[in-house]
Structure 1
Amino acid sequence: MSSRRRASSAPATPPANVRAQGRVFDSVLDLIGATPLVRLPRLVAAERLSADLALKLEFLNPLGSVKDRVGLAMIEAAERNGQISPGRTTIVEATSGNTGLGLALAAAAKGYALTVVMPEGSAPNRAKMLRLLGAKVDTTPARQGMAGAIGRAESLAARTRGAWMARVFDNAANPDIHAASTAEEIWRDTAGEVGVVVAGVGTGGTLTGIGRALKPRRPSVRIVGVEPAESAVLSGDEPGPHQLQGIGAGFRPSVLDLGQLDEVRAVSEAE
């Protein structure tokens, strides 16, 4: 026999920084949520900040945004309430942002037909992705904004048998999922040491849900919303066209609880 030692067939212990993507999941929907926080020490040093700064990497959701959480949550809430069922229901929604992709992901995985209405001028790649996921895409004149898209979606739903509108701007499942998951992840990963949460305001569901979950436990936490300066409705200005996809709907959504926001910042496209 050779005196050389045989290499062990046992797998090596993975490095501590290997993430969970090596695991096997039963559904792509199981990959939604549980996104990490990443500290930004170089930016903190460069800006001479007195606090830690971290980003929550929602782009690690399957289709790249926080709206994957919302799309799945709205569908599952409607299923629990007996409002929809696969093979019988057509989901209809008006969106210019990532809500459509979140709905399309969940609809494709669960077997629902989906029609998305978007204002013209919305990102063309988003419409292409929606179609690749099996959704139908309809468009409305850009000058009508989201109000026009919502009106068209309501008209389509009214004449489509078995249609159900998700209504992300009005659906309580939107802020509820952020209270139940996004906020809990932030609380856990910061060990409760969270001082300020900042996010763009589209539907308002993210910050509403986070505020509702965190403020009772840490009253000092500040919730700060960001909206486009070109359509700073929450700051008291008139709605207007802008190129910041996914935020600045041009009206105050009913799911947005302004009582949870300590501050709203208007940020220009250039900024």
Structure 2
Amino acid sequence: MSKLIRTRERLLTKLELHNPGGSHKYRAARHIIDSAVRNGDIVPGQTTVIEKTGGNFGFGLIAACHRYDIAVELAVGLGFSKTKRDLLECFGATLIGKDMLLEGASPKEVVQHHLQHQDAHGKSYFYTDQFNNPVGVDAHRHQTATELACQLIKAQAGKEILFVGCAGTGASFTGVTLGLRDHGFDVETALVDPAGSDSKAGTFTDHRFEGMAVGVSPPFLEWSLVDQHCTVQHGEMLLAQRQFYMQSGVYVGNTAAACLAAAHRLMQQPQYADTTVVTLAYDAGLWYQDLQQSVAEGVGPSDPCGN
């Protein structure tokens, strides 16, 4: 169970970066792999798991598959953290399609190519397909949210919760929101995007908040669960990241820091005066060493949630 820590009187963060694999993605990865092994879709020692990932889901798959002696092949976009790509290989994954990616192919096209030619290469693939596999929602609804609910009760957080999160596939946002409601919490939500992006509208800009606004509308995000849409500037994210480290000693990743930046603003609004605000520390900040720079002056709009 990952810890829940308090950095402000009404701000609680669940440290999902302390899961095996280093992120919240381990939960979905393990749930998918365990289900596939039980169902016979994966035969340990024979089947190779294949996936396209920005890194975190890949680390989760490596950790989940190691228990069964399952090989892992990953297509990772060249725009993602080089540190992650190097360590994925170091920890045992095979990064596939490097030449194709250099020539302009997408990770999805790399996976499709390998699936189409698996017989010729003597492979038997199982495609975990995180963007189309609903098992990930179940993992967060029945595991992440259940843990969080118990921790919130222990912390005497009250029943009114504002969950501030982001979405890649949308599995964690949907699963945590539904799970907390299953446990009797009155949950309002805020979805965070990088400045200039709107995941619902399918509008995406270049950004380094890896794990959110990934270029496609989140397939598992139930939009009826989203009460507010917030945007965060790059400088705001860096500032929130540093502040969280000074308060907790925990160096969170970019998506977590972006959600914290939005949470800080939302907490100042009168309607949340008695509401507990909850975020997830999706992964650690050490993956993104190239972003360690001074926070620029003018960290963004006065209100990232457009109010």
Same fold (TM over 0.5): yes
Name 1:58's counterpart in structure 2: 16
Taking structure 2 as the reference length, the TM-score comes to: 0.68
SS in 2 for 1:110: coil
Show CA shifts across 1:113-148 (max 9, x none). 111101112111111111122111134648969xx2
2:63 corresponding residue in structure 1: 105
Alignment pair present for 1:78 and 2:36: yes
Query: What's the CA shift string for 1:6-28, capped at 9, x where partnerless?
Result: xxxxxxxxxxxxxxxxxxxxxxx
**1:246-257 matches, cutoff 5 A:** 246-257=211-222
CA shift, 1:54, in A, is 0.7
Counterpart residue identity of residue 171, structure 2: G
Identity %, equivalent residues:
28
In structure 1, C-alpha distance between the alignment counterparts of 2:173 and 2:32, rounded to whole Å: 17
Q: Unpaired segments of 5 or more residues in structure 1?
A: 1-33, 45-51
**How far has the Cα of 1:233 moved from its partner?**
2.5
> Are residues 81 and 230 of structure 1, via their aligned partners in 2, closer, same or farther at CA, if it must alter by over 3 Å?
farther
Q: Distance in 2 between matches of 1:144 and 1:266?
A: 30
In the alignment, does 2:194 pair up with 1:228?
Answer: yes
Question: Quick check: 2:202–2:217 contact (8 Å CA) kept in 1?
Answer: no
Task: Say if 1:232 and 1:130 are closer, same or farther in 2 by CA, change over 3 A.
Answer: same
Distance of 1:268 and 1:258 partners within structure 2: 23
Q: Distance in 2 between matches of 1:264 and 1:58?
A: 23
Give me the CA root mean square deviation.
2.1
* Higher Cα Rg, which structure: 1
The worse-fitting range, judged by mean Cα deviation, of 257-266 and 204-213 is 257-266
Contact 1:223–1:263 under 8 Å retained in 2: yes
Contact 1:231 1:242 in 2 (8 A): no
Q: Hey, what does 2:2 align to over in structure 1?
A: 35
Q: Which of 129, 136, 147 pairs up with 1:185?
A: 147
Instruction: Say yes or no: does 1:175 pair with 2:142.
Output: no
TM-score (norm 1): 0.77
Native 8 Å contact 2:161 2:185 kept in 1: no
Whether 1:205 aligns to 2:167 is no
Q: Bigger relative contact order, structure 1 or 2, given CA contacts below 8 A and separation 6+?
A: 2
Shift of 1:101: 0.8
For residues 181-239 of structure 1, give each alpha carbon's deviation from its aligned partner in whole angstroms, at most 9, with x where no partner exists. Answer: 110011111116351111221111111111222224446311222122243232x2522
CA contact (8 A) 1:90 1:113 kept: yes
CA deviation vs aligned residue, 1:142-196 (integer Å, no higher than 9, x gap): 8969xx2112112212222311111111111111100011100111111163511
8 A Cα contact 2:74 2:94, kept in partner: yes
Q: Which residue does the alignment assign to 2:247?
A: none
- Kept in 1, the 8 Å contact 2:26–2:61? The answer is yes
Q: How many residue pairs are counted as aligned between the two chains?
A: 226
Task: Give yes or no for contact 1:121–1:142 (8 Å, CA) kept in 2.
Answer: no
